[in-house]
Amino acid sequence: MSYESITEKQRQLAEFRPMPDALVRNLDEWFKVELTYTSNAIEGNTLSRRETALVVEKGLTVGGKTLTEHLEATNHAHALDFVKEQIEREPSEISEREILTIHATILRGIDDANSGQYRAVPVRISGSEVILPNPFKVPDLMEEFSTWLKSESGLHPVELAAEAHYRLVTIHPFVDGNGRTARLLMNMILMMQGYPPAIIRKRDRLAYIGALEQAQLGGSKEDYLKLIAKAVDRSLDIYLKACRGEDDIHPVAKGKLLKIGELAKLVGKNNSTIRHWTKEGLLEVAETTDSGYQLYAPEAVERAKRILELQKQRFTLAEIRRKQSKT
């Protein structure tokens, strides 16, 4: 597939560097929460985006959520910090040590016996027909993977990152935490090459898993590569809009709560429509001010856009509500 458009956007982004400190800080904070929320959600963590922000940014405890879910959020955020620290040292390559450290951080306090350790037992992916390598082969496979990663130079950076992710989850070197580790490795490769991290959205979970399995069973990688490329493309758009000072990205990039009018403007609808969707249970109010104003979390933007997409497909509000309850 062609990466010309993505390469051009990356070139445009490079022209804005160095970015203002405040802008970098806002984008870093937003991406940390977004990456943590989506990567954990793909694995079944039930913390919402807003709850993830409270845990990661404020260190708060969310009622009704397990200790493991809280640890998954804080650990992922710390693992991302480690990735950024490594990139700041301007490394020329990524070794097995970095991969093991990422994994150890992901499972810290959750499964200390297996954190940062290659598996010594057979594993299976629930609901998948993919047969994973024998555990005795894992050390050699990881050594081969590390050698490939250090020597590969012919692929576009986005394809290299996607391929590294694919190869790591196909080896499945750990008892748990393979997906989160692979996504962080992918984003480490992207950021080392001047690209923003790729966010695999929760709504794309089934397509992402299906595309991976299709490739792992001997089919085409095209769907998988396209999905990763689109994720990088979306992140480039977020960065470029923020650098250009375009209003529609500011509330989201800053992670602040949105007034009903701001949310309506971002999705191209009027206030009454947002109120109606809220009344019907399609959108959730994050907070209500002392004056009675309803405020929405940044994730309400994507949720509202999804409602619009489903309406265009002739789904009723009741049908949309049922779909939302299943995700």
What are the catalytic residues?
172
Q: Give burial (CB, 10 Å; 0-12/13-18/19+) of 275.
A: middle
Q: What is the C-alpha to C-alpha distance for residues 29 and 303, in angstroms, rounded to an integer? A: 21
Report whether 242 contacts 26 (CB < 8 A).
yes
At CA 9, angle to CA 249 and CA 152, rounded to 5? 125
Q: What is the C-alpha to C-alpha distance for residues 284 and 260, in angstroms, rounded to an integer? A: 11
Report whether 301 contacts 261 (CB < 8 A).
no
Q: Which amino acid is at 56?
A: V
Q: What is the C-alpha to C-alpha distance for residues 183 and 39, in angstroms, rounded to an integer? A: 8
